[in-house]
């Protein structure tokens, strides 16, 4: 058994379960261009990840390798992870986990889209300038933002013409010309920091502005309590159907709050299930349940973290099965495909973890509909939850890495997607001979 002493949070417990103590670096370096990380010290070997231009990273060992790398200068930078050091320089800045958060934000970027249609059925124009200076000087815009596209901006700055948003190419738009997309502040339940009670079930309200607790199992009964949207509540398991409504008992709280009854359609509940075959009792895995729209990070049979998600809608269901995380990306731009019934393009979706084809877990900044089927197939998490789950799982992108691929020496975390207790196919594949970057599926 793992010794859990000193682990006060779900993340600490998850990192302990991974069983890989931090390795002391031999040196720190900085990439002078974007570089692939390889599973062997030779160009053309299987990909293990990616380093962005300008990021610092740790080197744990110098190794000999493929002479196509100048002077055979290779460095081992992780588990079965090697990079050619030709286009790197020594650096003293400590590497950081990617993606970086924008100042004061829950996400790594400021996001915006064009405004909604006006009375004439047209989207108001959102011009974009080559630079802040060009805009201030009155130069002509280089283009305009288009509908069905969510744009990512690195900075938010004041200017003589109002607040501007600046993208990675230094192009600017006026904030007044666009609609900012603010991520939800929702966060799930850390079951290590605050263990779940054994006699009631964790649930959340999914109704705005609140779910009502009533004095009797009757929609006309007096309201004796309110559960604000996405607030936690603990309920009993028994359902009683009255006049077409399923009612759940809310027991009296330890804080003196009175009990009552809540309409089951106004809440989402977390139900654990037996772990998949082959997952050990001290192995970390993820359980996604579609009926109640929940996700749990599990250690064997013990929950570490439990939250609400937004999975695929009825037209684009999330595929059920048992998988492993194949690719993790700090951010991923996601586009619709030819033939899709809805066009979309979303820049720099954060904390993306792909487990099957173009389906994955990722952070979401464009809606707050957790607990409801909303997406085009992926498992949507709030920004807070996506960052936490990303930090818990493998294949682990070390500080400075923008991307990591699973490898036989570091398999991806198991993900099961189920609906209640229905059997699901085991889709865990062998590690592919070559890792490739696939265009992911949005939401």
Per-domain residue ranges for the chain?
10-90, 110-181, 193-269, 284-418
How do residues 371-421 score in pLDDT, each as one tens digit?
999 999 999 999 999 999 999 999 999 999 999 999 999 999 999 999 999
Give, to the nearest 10 degrees, the angle between helix 383-392 and helix 10-18.
20
pLDDT per residue as tens digits for the range 298-312: 999 999 999 999 999
Instruction: Decide if 247 contacts 200 (C-beta within 8 A).
Output: no
Class of the CATH-defined domain 284-418: mainly beta
DSSP state of 68: T
Q: How far apart are CA 120 and CA 144, in angstroms?
A: 19
DSSP secondary structure, 268-323, as one string: EE----PPPTT--TT-EEEEEETTTTEEEEEETTEEEEEEE-B-B-SSSPPPPEEE
Express as a percent the part of the chain with pLDDT over 70: 95
Give the global pTM. 0.94
Q: Tell me the DSSP string of 155-166.
A: EEE--TTS-EEE
Q: What is the pLDDT of residues 230-275, one digit of tens each?
A: 999 999 999 999 999 999 999 987 555 679 999 999 999 999 999 9
Q: Measuring CA to CA, which residue among 9, 397, 370 is closest to residue 183?
A: 370
CA–CA distance, 404 with 50 (Å, rounded to integer): 7
* C-alpha torsion angle, residues 389, 393, 395, 399 (rounded to 10): 60
The burial of 136, by beta-carbon neighbours within 10 Å (0-12 exposed, 13-18 middle, 19 or more buried), is given as middle
Burial label, 85 (beta-carbon count in 10 A; 0-12, 13-18, 19+): buried
Q: Give the DSSP H or E segment for 12.
A: helix 10-18
Report d(CA 83, CA 75) in Å as an integer.
Answer: 6
Whether residue 438 has pLDDT greater than 50: no
Other C-beta atoms closer than 10 Å to the C-beta of 34 total 13
CA 401, CA 79: separation in Å to the nearest integer? 13
Distance CA 330, CA 349 (A): 8
Closest CA to 203 of 248, 252, 242: 248
Greater pLDDT, 424 or 72: 424
Residue 355's nearest CA partner among 390, 388, 385 is 390
How does strand 414-418 pair with strand 321-324? antiparallel
Convert the pLDDT of each residue in 104-148 to its tens digit.
Answer: 899 999 999 999 999 999 999 999 999 999 999 999 999 999 999
Give the 3-state secondary structure of residue 368.
coil
Identify the CATH homologous superfamily for domain 193-269.
SH3 Domains (2.30.30.40)
Read off the pLDDT of each residue in 138-162 and give the average, rounded to a whole number. Answer: 96
Q: In the chain, how long is the greatest CA-to-CA distance? A: 80
Supply the pLDDT for residue 407: 96
């Amino acid at each position: 058994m793992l010794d859990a002493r000193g682990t006060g949070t779900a993340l600490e417990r998850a990192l302990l379960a991974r069983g890989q103590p931090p390795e002391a670096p031999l040196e720190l370096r900085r990439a002078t261009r974007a570089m692939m990380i390889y599973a062997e010290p030779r160009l053309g070997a299987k990909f293990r990840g990616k380093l962005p231009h300008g990021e610092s990273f740790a080197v744990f060992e110098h190794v000999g390798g493929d002479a196509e790398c100048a002077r055979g200068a290779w460095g081992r930078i992780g588990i079965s992870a090697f990079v050619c050091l030709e286009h790197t320089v020594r650096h003293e800045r400590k590497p950081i986990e990617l993606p970086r958060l924008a100042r004061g934000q829950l996400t790594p970027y400021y996001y915006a889209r064009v405004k909604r249609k006006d009375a004439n059925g047209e989207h108001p124009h959102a011009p974009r300038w080559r630079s802040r200076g060009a805009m201030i000087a009155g130069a002509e815009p280089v283009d305009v933002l288009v509908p069905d596209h969510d744009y990512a901006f690195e900075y938010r700055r004041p200017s003589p013409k109002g607040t501007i948003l600046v993208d990675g190419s230094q192009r600017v738009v006026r904030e007044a010309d666009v609609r900012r997309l603010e991520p939800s502040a929702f966060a799930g339940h850390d079951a290590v920091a605050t263990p779940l009670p054994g006699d009631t079930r964790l649930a959340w309200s999914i109704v705005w502005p609140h779910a009502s607790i009533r004095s009797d199992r009757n929609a006309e009964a007096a309201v004796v309590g309110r559960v604000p949207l996405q607030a936690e509540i603990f309920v009993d398991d028994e359902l009683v159907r009255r006049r077409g409504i399923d009612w759940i008992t809310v027991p009296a709280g330890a804080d003196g709050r009175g009990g009552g009854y809540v309409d089951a359609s106004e809440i989402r509940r977390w139900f654990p299930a037996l772990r998949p075959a082959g997952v050990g009792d001290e192995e970390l895995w993820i359980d996604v349940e579609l009926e109640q729209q929940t996700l749990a990070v599990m250690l064997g049979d013990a929950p570490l973290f439990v939250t609400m998600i937004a999975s695929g809608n009825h037209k684009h269901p999330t595929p059920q099965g048992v998988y492993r995380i194949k690719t993790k990306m700090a951010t991923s731009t996601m586009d619709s495909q030819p033939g899709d019934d809805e066009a979309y393009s979303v820049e720099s979706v954060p904390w993306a973890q792909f487990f099957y084809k173009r389906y994955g877990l990722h952070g979401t900044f464009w809606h707050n509909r957790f607990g409801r089927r909303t997406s085009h197939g992926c498992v949507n998490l709030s920004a807070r939850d996506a960052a936490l789950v990303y930090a818990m799982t493998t294949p682990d992108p070390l500080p400075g890495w923008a991307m990591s691929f699973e490898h036989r020496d570091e398999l991806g975390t198991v993900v099961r997607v189920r609906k209640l207790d229905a059997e699901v196919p085991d889709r865990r594949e062998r590690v592919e001979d070559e890792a490739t970057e696939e265009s992911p599926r949005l939401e």
